[in-house]
Structure 1
Amino acid sequence: MIKKNILPIIAIAFSLFVISCDNTSKFKIEKGKVGALTTTTTIKELSTIFKNDSIVKNLSEGAQGDNYFQEDDEYFIFEKGGKLLLTILPKQQLDSTSTIKSIEINDVRYTTASGINLNSSFSEINANNNINRIETTLTSATLFLNDLNATVAIDKEELGLKELITQKVTKEQIPDLAKMKSFIVWFN
């Protein structure tokens, strides 16, 4: 009697384990990989990979267009319900066979093996990643993370610096609690 009752319990436990493993890999960030997306994924494969989500395309006009300010195609991946997950830029514009140039992470569920996500502070990023260099722009400091081939931008307000000044920023100047403004994984 006990053996008959334990079999369904084992089947349910195994099913839950498989589902939870699949869900964590869906939101995992590694070098050359974001969820199911890899360096070999093409733009036309996005509709298959994100078949349960919505894809909004913002296409450039290419060399023939008059919009000189939009140089890259953008593919926005929205979860059902409207939550923005990812912003994807292809290497070649107006080409569905192009591979991916970069992926901007827009959802906190996307996480690295060391636990870094959009809500991570500078101290967490610094402790778990090798920051190769820091470049400053007019509004932010960009950290280059070689172990993920990623960049993290931190707003100058978080650093206590005035905007519109391209003053060089060092790791020591960044407060431990500074939050990231953007997180981009590069596929080049």
Structure 2
Amino acid sequence: MIKKNILPIIVIAFSLFIISCSNNNKFKIEKGKVGEITTTTTMKDLSTIFKNDSIVKNLSEGAQGDNYFQEDDEYFIFEKGGKLLLTILPKEQLDSTSTIKSIEIHDARFKTASGININSSFSEINANNNINRIESTFSSATLFIDDLNATIAIDKEELGLKEFNTQKVTKEQIPDLAKMKSFIVWFN
């Protein structure tokens, strides 16, 4: 009697395990991969990958356009309910067969194997990744992480530095609790 009851429980547990593993891959960040997007994914593939989500396209006007300030096409991925997940830029503008140049992460469910996501602090980033270099801009410090081919920007306000100053920033100057401003994975 007990053996008959245990088989359905094992089948249900195994099914839940398979579903949870496939769901984890949907939000996993690796070098050359964000969720189901890889280095070979084209812009037209996005409609299949995000068939249950909304894709908003902000297309540049190319060489004939009037908007000189918008250089790149932008594809915003929103989940149902309106939460922004990703901003995707193609390598070639106005080309549906183009592969991806970069993906900016906006949702904390997207994370690396070590657990780094958009809400991670500098101490978590530094402990789990090799920061290859730091470049300073007028308003932020950009961390380059070659293991992921990613950049993480930290606002200068988080560093206690004046904005609009390009003074060099070192790892030692960044407070452990500093939060990231942006997290971009590059596909080049």
- TM-score, scaled relative to structure 1: 0.99
Q: CA RMSD in A?
A: 0.6
Q: Tell me the SS of whatever aligns to 2:132.
A: strand
Q: Does 1:120 align with 2:120?
A: yes
Q: Does 1:140 align with 2:140?
A: yes
Q: Does 1:76 align with 2:76?
A: yes
User: Cα distance, 1:3 vs. partner?
Assistant: 2.0
For 1:129-187, what per-residue CA distance to the aligned partner results, in whole angstroms no more than 9, with x for missing partners? 11111111110000000000000000000000000111110111101110000000000
Match of 2:40 in 1: 40
Q: Does 1:90 align with 2:90?
A: yes
Match of 2:186 in 1: 186
C-alpha distance in 1 between matches for 2:176 and 2:14 = 41
Segments ≥4 residues shifted beyond 6 Å? none
Residue type at the aligned position of 2:139: T
Residue type at the aligned position of 2:89: L
Match of 1:59 in 2: 59
Matched-pair identity in %: 88
Match of 1:176 in 2: 176
Q: Does 1:29 align with 2:29?
A: yes
C-alpha distance in 2 between matches for 1:120 and 1:176 = 10
Match of 2:156 in 1: 156
Residue type at the aligned position of 2:72: D
For 1:19-45, what per-residue CA distance to the aligned partner results, in whole angstroms no more than 9, with x for missing partners? 110111100000000000000000000
Structure 1 unmatched runs, 5+ = none
For 1:70-122, what per-residue CA distance to the aligned partner results, in whole angstroms no more than 9, with x for missing partners? 00000000011111100000000000000000000000000100110011111
- TM-score, scaled relative to structure 2: 0.99
Aligned residues: 188
Structure 2 unmatched runs, 5+ = none
For 1:31-66, what per-residue CA distance to the aligned partner results, in whole angstroms no more than 9, with x for missing partners? 000000000000000000000111000000000000
